[in-house]
């Protein structure tokens, strides 16, 4: 922990406590942190210790990604203009493989990389206005960005309608987080949303 503090001169003690909690649950190891810090510094071209959206935008391949923008946005907490290293790692920690053997203890806070947290992260990608529901319009937006250009508006809308129809259980024409989770219960989220940080 101490040498980590040396590596990360910008973090304050509060963050350090949070680091500790990360370690405690073994989500992100020190080796990962170092690697990610290198990456953080590589992205942070002006060495301010914070990342701005432009820094993310500099990643070429992200521009090829239909939802790259949203992902970038997900790194920033609402109202914040920059991302510090702690938040950076925290968001990336979402993508660690979940620990299946962790006993389900309701008193402890849900670890960042559990299935629920991953789903919540994905849900937030859809739900930009953070009202807890994916409205039809939001769904349309995402669909529009993910589908190729020759798709007409009608087709888009029909797909969106279908999606909502399939998932919406309480018939409010929007997908809440619970409905979202239920519709994906058979999908192996852990496999789909995990990356293996190279050791």
Residues of this chain that bind another protein (CB under 8 A): 35-36, 39, 42-43, 54, 56-69, 71-72, 75, 92, 95, 97, 121-122, 125-126, 142-155, 158-159, 161-163, 166-167, 180, 183-184, 186-187, 189, 191-198
Tell me whether residue 129 or residue 154 sits nearer to another protein (CB atom): 154
CA dihedral (7, 15, 78, 97) in degrees, to 10, reads 80
Task: State how far the Cα of 64 lies from the Cα of 59, in Å rounded to an integer.
Answer: 10
Q: Is 195 left (phi over 0), alpha (psi -120 to 50) or beta?
A: beta
At its nearest, how many Å lie between another protein and the CB of residue 10? Answer: 19
At its nearest, how many Å lie between another protein and the CB of residue 146? Answer: 6
Task: State how far the Cα of 113 lies from the Cα of 93, in Å rounded to an integer.
Answer: 6
At its nearest, how many Å lie between another protein and the CB of residue 98? Answer: 11
Tell me whether residue 17 or residue 30 sits nearer to another protein (CB atom): 30
Tell me whether residue 14 or residue 185 sits nearer to another protein (CB atom): 185
The pair of structure tokens assigned to 95 is: 């993508």
Q: Which helix (H) or strand (E) holds 83?
A: strand 83-84
At its nearest, how many Å lie between another protein and the CB of residue 12? Answer: 23
């Amino acid at each position: 922990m101490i040498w980590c503090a040396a590596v990360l001169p910008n973090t304050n003690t509060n963050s350090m406590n949070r680091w500790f909690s990360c370690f405690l649950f073994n989500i992100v190891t020190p080796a990962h942190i170092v690697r990610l810090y290198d990456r953080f510094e590589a992205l942070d071209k002006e060495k301010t210790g914070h990342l701005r959206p432009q820094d993310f935008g500099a990643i070429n391949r992200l521009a090829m990604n239909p939802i790259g923008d949203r992902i970038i946005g997900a790194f920033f907490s609402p109202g914040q203009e920059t991302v510090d290293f702690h938040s950076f790692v925290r968001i990336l920690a979402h993508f660690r493989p979940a620990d299946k053997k962790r006993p389900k203890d309701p008193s402890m806070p849900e670890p960042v990389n559990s299935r629920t947290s991953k789903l919540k992260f994905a849900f937030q990608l859809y739900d930009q206005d953070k009202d807890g529901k994916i409205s039809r319009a939001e769904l349309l937006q995402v669909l529009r960005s993910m589908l190729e250009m020759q798709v007409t508006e009608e087709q888009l809308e029909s797909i969106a309608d279908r999606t909502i129809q399939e998932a919406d259980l309480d018939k409010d024409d929007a997908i809440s987080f619970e409905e979202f989770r239920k519709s994906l219960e058979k999908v192996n989220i852990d496999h789909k949303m995990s990356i293996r940080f190279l050791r």
